[in-house]
Amino acid sequence: MAIDHLDGRIIVLLAREPRVGVLEMSRRLGVARGTVQARLDRLQSNGVIRGFGPQVDPAALGYPVTAFATLQIRQGQGADVRAHLATVPEVLELHTTTGTGDMLCRLVARSNADLQRVIDLVVGFDGIVRASTAIVMENPVPLRIIPLVEQAALGE
């Protein structure tokens, strides 16, 4: 679970240029190919690297509107709400949280008007008491991991 400097460099290199192969990585990093392969295998079995799935842009798919919805759930209905939200394709992720709301979910929609449909779809379920939505305007920091990996590689 601890990440050393070489692990960090492997992940960062992979994040910056996903197309490089193991051989090319070993050349860039100045280590033997077997080392890179062993490190990669370890990182994956550790769960540090979950996979290499394609990063799909919802906007390019026709869903340019993103929003975050905070949901308040009726007592004991949590499981039902989770199951319900899992069936809505526009719900990209769902978290249960502490704080004023009970759940936080990320939504996408084809337009602001379409967002109304999505919200109705989400909220139109018995266990949800109240929903408060924030529409995303800009995304100054897109989901990233490199700085954290670099910190983990140095600090540990």
Partner DNA sequence: GTATTCACTGGGCAATGTGTTCAGTCGTCC
Partner DNA sequence: GGACGACTGAACACATTGCCCAGTGAATAC
Residues within the interface to DNA (CB under 7 A): 6, 21-24, 30-35, 37-39
Considering CB under 8 A, how many residues would be counted as binding a copy of itself? Answer: 71
Among residues 25, 36, 66, 73, the one that binds a copy of itself under rule CB under 8 A: 66
CB 97 within 8 A of CB 109: no
> What is the SS3 assignment for 44?
helix
Number of Cβ atoms within 10 Å of the Cβ of 5: 11
Q: Does 142 bind a copy of itself (CB under 8 A)?
A: yes
Question: With CB cut-offs between 5 and 8 Å by kind, which of DNA, a copy of itself, none does residue 113 bind?
Answer: none
CB 68 within 8 A of CB 41: no
Nearest residue (CB) to a copy of itself, 30 versus 143? 143
**In the complex, least distance from residue 56 CB atom to a copy of itself, rounded to whole angstroms:** 5
* Tokens of residue 23, six digits: 């051989």
* Tokens of residue 115, six digits: 């967002």
Q: How far apart are CA 88 and CA 121, in angstroms?
A: 8
Among residues 85, 115, 121, 122, the one that binds a copy of itself under rule CB under 8 A: 85
Among residues 30, 60, 75, 113, the one that binds a copy of itself under rule CB under 8 A: 60
Q: Does 51 bind a copy of itself (CB under 8 A)?
A: yes
* Tokens of residue 146, six digits: 């490199």
Site string for a copy of itself, 96-135 (x = CB under 8 A): xxxxxx--xxx-x-----------------------xxxx
CB 87 within 8 A of CB 121: no
Listed residue (5, 95, 20, 29) closest to 52, CA to CA: 20
Nearest residue (CB) to DNA, 35 versus 70? 35
